[in-house]
Amino acid sequence: MTSELPPVPIHDRLGIEIVLATTDEVVGTMPVSGNEQPFGALHGGASVVLAESLASIGSALHAGRDHSVVGIEVNASHHRAATSGVVTGRAVPLRIGRRIATWQIEIRNDTGQLTCTARVTCLLTPQ
């Protein structure tokens, strides 16, 4: 799936891989290693990058190539530390309109435990 997307430098730096991308669901993974905060757990900011990336990709697929997509609001709650392995984010749309798309994202660790929930709103603008 990643080969169908244009290069995304932050995805390369954080090791994000998109494994599924449709207008109804976007799934991506990210390693914990290399993305930790000073105390050894996955950095909350890395989780937010994963969440916004998934929502932006889903929004772009909905809007089409003739629109630009930008995140305009992000809210994230961190529930549990991830200290190793890979986390998986799954984004599903809460509401998709002509100009605004809002997504709910759950990020889970290797054992399926919820580590973060996020809500991302994207603005869809004609180019």
Q: Of 17, 36, 52, 106, which one is the catalytic site residue?
A: 52
Residues 6+ apart with CB under 8 A from 93: 23, 24, 58, 62, 101, 102, 103, 104
What are 86's two structure tokens? 């890979």
Does residue 70 contact residue 126 with C-beta atoms inside 8 Å? no
- C-alpha–C-alpha distance, residues 86 and 92, integer Å: 20
Has 25 been annotated as catalytic?
no
> Which H or E run includes 74?
strand 67-78
Give the catalytic positions in this structure: 52
